Amino acid sequence: MDVAEIPGIPDWFVEHLHVDGIEALYPPQAEAVEKGVTDGENLVASIPTASGKTLIATLAMLSSVTRETETGGKALYIVPLRALASEKRGEFEQFEQYGLSVGVSTGNYESDGGWLADKDIIVATSEKVDSLVRNDAPWLEDLGCVVSDEVHLVDDGNRGPTLEVTLAKLRSLNPTLQTVALSATIGNPEALAAWLDAELVDSDWRPIELQKGVHFGDAMHLEDGSQERLALRASESQEAAIVRDTLEDEGSTLVFVNSRRNAESAARRLGGTTEPFLSGAERAELAEIAAQIRDVSDTDTSDDLAAAVEKGAAFHHAGLARDHRSLVEDAFRDRLIKVVCATPTLAAGVNTPSRRVVVRDWRRYDGTFGGMQPLSVLEVHQMMGRAGRPGLDPYGEALLLASGHDELDELFERYVWAEPEPVRSKLAAEPALRTHILATVASGFARSREELLTFLEGTLYAEQAADRDQLQAVMDTVIDYLEVNDFLERLDGTLAATSLGHTVSRLYLDPMSAAEILDGLAEYQAGDGDSQPTAFGLYHLISRTPDMYELYLRSGDEEEYTMLAYEREDDLLGRAPSEFDDAFEDWLSAIKTARLLEDWASELDEDTITERYGIGPGDIRGKVDTAQWLLGAAESLATERGLGVSPGIREARLRVEHGVREELVDLAGVRGVGRKRARRLYEAGIETRADLREADKSVVLAALRGREKTAQSILENVGHHEPAMAEVTPAESVTAALDTGDSEEEHSEASSDSGQANLGDF
């Protein structure tokens, strides 16, 4: 179908597509149009990676925002990861030149996003949309179209239920809402279509041919039955041989591995393979990119990444800062970086096609099984789908690696020839149901047991549940739990949230987290404002709630943290489980997380922390963000219950927010200051905001290492009467006194919007 024939879209968009070189729709896109996607019809599109799903979504959204009838209206695009929100924003912002406005909302859970009311296209994560629904964002009623990207993630145990419930709520709020769900190829797309009352486009079509296969011995065994020689040189690994062979043909390779650590070590090794292929000009450009990478943060990860990039290799995982990730993605797209070693996050949407894909690890560690588990067919096919760049490569190849004949056969059976699994709802998992049933009642969506049941029947879970009785039994168990803990009350056949229940729902807490926090704070009764819990005690309390992802205990940890638990016993809130109790291990792992937070709030270097706990800088950010949110929630709960512990909680929260000791909390809150600069200012005698406002500029400049622009903008932010720095010279006595110590540079590590993934993904 020629793009000029598409009904229901604005004329400028046809022009826009022409400028992008898009003349005709791909077959699955044409099928979507024939099934009414530009006419308000619901649609599920289950098609392979890189087959143009975004354009299907765009057609739906643009037709909705331009349609004059009551089914038209603003469009909401739901993304599964924060990292993808900015990528989509970039794509849709191109439409601002035609008069449309685009907003992105991923942050603060509590606001109703009022400013989004005048946007035509809104991009948000499912968690954010869920909270907008709970906070009754009025503009939700003006929605004409909702797009759910990567909808097969309803199958994800952690985050699937939120997506599922959110879609069900949006649809029940607004029965004329058009729902467009984009999915990878899955085993049961009909089930999704039935759930969403949608037309289905189910296609294997790809814009570029893909050959799947397995490398074994000296050959690639491809799915069409052919074999191609690809021999290993002495002491060369399979992946190195494939990277080299691809480079001999001027192509790039994407290597998927199963952990961050493996991504880093594979990149280090493969740098040896890529380096000899670099031209002088490429080396110079890569050195420049490596310098930009080092500028992002002062960690080992940053150094390791820069060192690999200088050789034409890189790693990519969610422990990286956002700027690291985009530098790598851009340089790979520009063909400067020849190989990227990635964890599976990269497969989930970031657009980095390459000639060949190698799925090196097809098992990964799974904590719930306590061992290695094979990846799903769906995941492996999504990774493989990244092979081949339309218009650039003749075809793509995606290879698994076998080390023996049996494994060769197994990989063909298990992945190359296999169909992807069906998607199943995970809403029945307890934390999910607890949270969502409370929210559904608190926001007035359901006012009785019957209404709740009706609402749940609109979910995929109900579509797939064995029978209605099972659904009811599970629901009743949860209602009982919520009633016993004083979050819900039953009155003459109605269901209502208590005041506490409303607070918990508004705070976006798992009710079990709220119960744990209140239990821990119970010893501080109303009016007793003299004694306050310690920061460590509070960090431990929030770390043992189900809302904080656990840090796993490594071998040797158990002893160390048991000791610490006894040493710090007086700080800990609530009753410790006995050492023989199963809950003791969780208690210890919360001790470990608490000490991490305390280390951060005691100004320990990022590097020291990453080493001490075996995690990446992105993980510190994730823990810190979660802690900030949970401590904010604890403060609200304490206020709700009239407990006099707000000052202690507030201080613990501010310390973790800024990563500083108590005495720097005030200074570090000034925009542009951050933890390291605050410490230097403090040591130069500037101890508070008030001091800074009145400070001698030569002292400020010296404390800030003579950086005039930084000094000036900080003084502007704090409201200094004369912030200009021209002609100010750094006070030498201060410089001399401070520079005997460390020489570390200040970086943006303490900024709260570093955009790093923190949702427990890789």
Separation in Å, CA 621 to CA 11, 503, 652, 745: 45, 26, 16, 19
Query: Residues 6 or more apart from 487 whose CB is under 8 A from it?
Result: 438, 497, 498, 500, 501, 504, 511, 514
Q: How far is the CB of 52 from ligand ADP (least distance, A)?
A: 3
Of residues 222, 201, 203, the one with CA closest to residue 213: 222
Which of these ranges, 25-33, 485-493, 707-715, 750-758, lies near ligand ADP under the rule CB under 6 A?
A: 25-33
Distance (Å, whole) CA 13 – CA 235: 54
Q: How far is the CB of 222 from ligand ADP (least distance, A)?
A: 23
Measured from the CB atom, the residue of 23 and 742 that comes closer to ligand ADP is: 23
Residue 26 binding ligand ADP, by CB under 6 A: yes
| Bridge partner list, 2 | 24
Which long-range contacts link 93-100 to residues 24+ away (Cβ below 8 Å)?
Answer: 94/16, 95/16, 95/62, 95/121, 98/10, 98/12, 98/13, 98/16, 100/65
| DSSP helix/strand/coil, 553 | coil
Q: How far is the CB of 86 from ligand ADP (least distance, A)?
A: 15
Which of these ranges, 21-29, 191-199, 514-522, 690-698, lies near ligand ADP under the rule CB under 6 A?
A: 21-29
Of residues 613, 588, 589, the one with CA closest to residue 600: 613
Which of these ranges, 48-56, 255-263, 574-582, 608-616, lies near ligand ADP under the rule CB under 6 A?
A: 48-56
Q: Using the rule CB under 6 A, which residue among 32, 33, 55, 313 binds ligand ADP?
A: 55
Measured from the CB atom, the residue of 58 and 274 that comes closer to ligand ADP is: 58
Q: How far is the CB of 755 from ligand ADP (least distance, A)?
A: 20
Distance (Å, whole) CA 412 – CA 408: 6
Measured from the CB atom, the residue of 51 and 302 that comes closer to ligand ADP is: 51
Which of these ranges, 50-58, 189-197, 321-329, 713-721, lies near ligand ADP under the rule CB under 6 A?
A: 50-58
Q: How far is the CB of 75 from ligand ADP (least distance, A)?
A: 16
Site string for ligand ADP, 480-509 (x = CB under 6 A): ------------------------------
Site string for ligand ADP, 504-543 (x = CB under 6 A): ----------------------------------------
Q: How far is the CB of 184 from ligand ADP (least distance, A)?
A: 9
Q: How far is the CB of 22 from ligand ADP (least distance, A)?
A: 4
Q: How far is the CB of 421 from ligand ADP (least distance, A)?
A: 20
Measured from the CB atom, the residue of 347 and 507 that comes closer to ligand ADP is: 347
Residue 77 binding ligand ADP, by CB under 6 A: no
Chain positions 640 to 659 lying near ligand ADP, rule: CB under 6 A, are: none
Of residues 195, 223, 198, 193, the one with CA closest to residue 211: 223
Measured from the CB atom, the residue of 54 and 532 that comes closer to ligand ADP is: 54
Distance (Å, whole) CA 242 – CA 254: 10
Q: Using the rule CB under 6 A, which residue among 6, 50, 346, 731 binds ligand ADP?
A: 50
Relative to beta strand 371-374, strand 339-342 is: unpaired
Residue 54 binding ligand ADP, by CB under 6 A: yes
Measured from the CB atom, the residue of 21 and 280 that comes closer to ligand ADP is: 21
Residue 264 region, left (φ>0) first, then alpha (ψ -120 to 50), else beta? alpha
Residue 25 binding ligand ADP, by CB under 6 A: yes
Which of these ranges, 43-51, 213-221, 402-410, 731-739, lies near ligand ADP under the rule CB under 6 A?
A: 43-51
Distance (Å, whole) CA 608 – CA 223: 48
Beta carbons of 242 and 217 less than 8 angstroms apart: no
Distance (Å, whole) CA 89 – CA 94: 9
Q: How far is the CB of 317 from ligand ADP (least distance, A)?
A: 20
Site string for ligand ADP, 296-335 (x = CB under 6 A): ----------------------------------------
Q: What is the DSSP string of 288-356?
A: HHHHHHHHH-SSHHHHHHHHHHHTTEEEE-TTS-HHHHHHHHHHHHTT-S-EEEE-GGGGGS----BSE
Q: How far is the CB of 391 from ligand ADP (least distance, A)?
A: 8
Which of these ranges, 24-32, 113-121, 276-284, 440-448, lies near ligand ADP under the rule CB under 6 A?
A: 24-32
Distance (Å, whole) CA 383 – CA 348: 8
Q: How far is the CB of 163 from ligand ADP (least distance, A)?
A: 17
Q: How far is the CB of 27 from ligand ADP (least distance, A)?
A: 9
Measured from the CB atom, the residue of 355 and 506 that comes closer to ligand ADP is: 355
Which of these ranges, 18-26, 167-175, 412-420, 557-565, lies near ligand ADP under the rule CB under 6 A?
A: 18-26
Which of these ranges, 51-59, 432-440, 513-521, 586-594, lies near ligand ADP under the rule CB under 6 A?
A: 51-59
Residue 53 binding ligand ADP, by CB under 6 A: yes
Chain positions 351 to 370 lying near ligand ADP, rule: CB under 6 A, are: 351
Written as six digits, the tokens of 583 are 């809950």
Location of structure tokens 């039935």 = 194
Distance (Å, whole) CA 76 – CA 13: 19
Please report, to the nearest 10 degrees, the dihedral formed by the alpha carbons of residues 139, 142, 144, 150 taken in order: 10
Distance (Å, whole) CA 739 – CA 742: 7
The DSSP 8-state label assigned to residue 183 in this structure reads E
Location of structure tokens 């993630």 = 153
Q: How far is the CB of 622 from ligand ADP (least distance, A)?
A: 26
Total residues at the site for ligand ADP (CB under 6 A)? Answer: 12
Measured from the CB atom, the residue of 238 and 354 that comes closer to ligand ADP is: 354
Beta carbons of 701 and 731 less than 8 angstroms apart: yes
Location of structure tokens 């490596």 = 290
Q: How far is the CB of 353 from ligand ADP (least distance, A)?
A: 8
Which of these ranges, 53-61, 139-147, 258-266, 431-439, lies near ligand ADP under the rule CB under 6 A?
A: 53-61
Q: Using the rule CB under 6 A, which residue among 46, 49, 440, 513 binds ligand ADP?
A: 49
Which of these ranges, 8-16, 44-52, 463-471, 673-681, lies near ligand ADP under the rule CB under 6 A?
A: 44-52
Beta carbons of 163 and 397 less than 8 angstroms apart: no
Which class for 97: exposed (0-12), middle (13-18), buried (19 or more C-beta within 10 A)? exposed
Q: How far is the CB of 348 from ligand ADP (least distance, A)?
A: 10
Chain positions 158 to 187 lying near ligand ADP, rule: CB under 6 A, are: none
Residue 51 binding ligand ADP, by CB under 6 A: yes
| DSSP helix/strand/coil, 159 | coil
Q: How far is the CB of 90 from ligand ADP (least distance, A)?
A: 12
Beta carbons of 619 and 589 less than 8 angstroms apart: no
Helices 606-613 + 300-310 axis angle, to 10: 90
Residue 378 binding ligand ADP, by CB under 6 A: no
Backbone angles phi, psi at 459, to 5 degrees: -100, 165
Q: How far is the CB of 15 from ligand ADP (least distance, A)?
A: 15
Distance (Å, whole) CA 340 – CA 313: 6
Q: How far is the CB of 129 from ligand ADP (least distance, A)?
A: 20
Which of these ranges, 19-27, 226-234, 407-415, 423-431, lies near ligand ADP under the rule CB under 6 A?
A: 19-27
Residues that bind ligand ADP (CB under 6 A): 22, 25-26, 29, 49-55, 351
